[in-house]
Structure 1
Amino acid sequence: EFDSSYGPAWHCIVGTSFGSYVTHSLGGFLYFSIDKVYILLFKTAVEPLDH
């Protein structure tokens, strides 16, 4: 449902302790916490595979 509403190539990391270094599309980065659980959502560019 998320991809159909906001487009493809979203990634989600959820945890209580993690580090990250990600490349994301402009406007495609969201980081927040609920209590002690942290959520990182980010969108990457979709490129067609060369055959």
Structure 2
Amino acid sequence: MFGDALQLCGIEKEIASFMKRKFDAKYGGHWQCIVGRNFGSHLDPIQFIHFTVSKISVILFR
């Protein structure tokens, strides 16, 4: 899914939108997504995914 986002999207905002739509469709609910190279966060989500690929970090949560 992330590989598709990198190929189809040019900027981090587009990658975040792509990932959010895919997670909403596949897992239901209202997912939120943050994509970037340098950011901080403090979350108290029910479900949470965080990973980094080639200096790009992704947080998906609901």
If the length of structure 2 is used for normalisation, what is the TM-score?
A: 0.59
Counterpart of 1:9? 30
Instruction: Write the distance in 2 (CA, Å) between the matches of 1:4 and 1:20.
Output: 25
| Percent of aligned positions that are identical | 41
CA drift of 1:3 comes to 1.2
Which structure 2 residue ranges, 5 or more long, are not aligned? 1-21
Is the radius of gyration larger for structure 1 or structure 2? 1
More strand by share: 1
Counterpart of 1:47? none
**1:36 equivalenced with 2:51 (yes/no):** no
For residue 24 of structure 2, give the secondary structure of its aligned residue in structure 1. Answer: helix
Which structure 1 residue ranges, 5 or more long, are not aligned? 44-51
Residue by residue over 1:18-38, the C-alpha shift from the partner in whole angstroms, topping out at 9 and shown as x without a partner, is 00011211xx11000110000
Q: Which structure's relative contact order is higher, taking Cα pairs within 8 Å and 6+ residues apart? A: 1
More helix by share: 2
If the length of structure 1 is used for normalisation, what is the TM-score?
A: 0.70
Q: Spell out structure 1 runs of 4+ moving beyond 2 A.
A: none
Superposed CA RMSD in Å reads 1.1
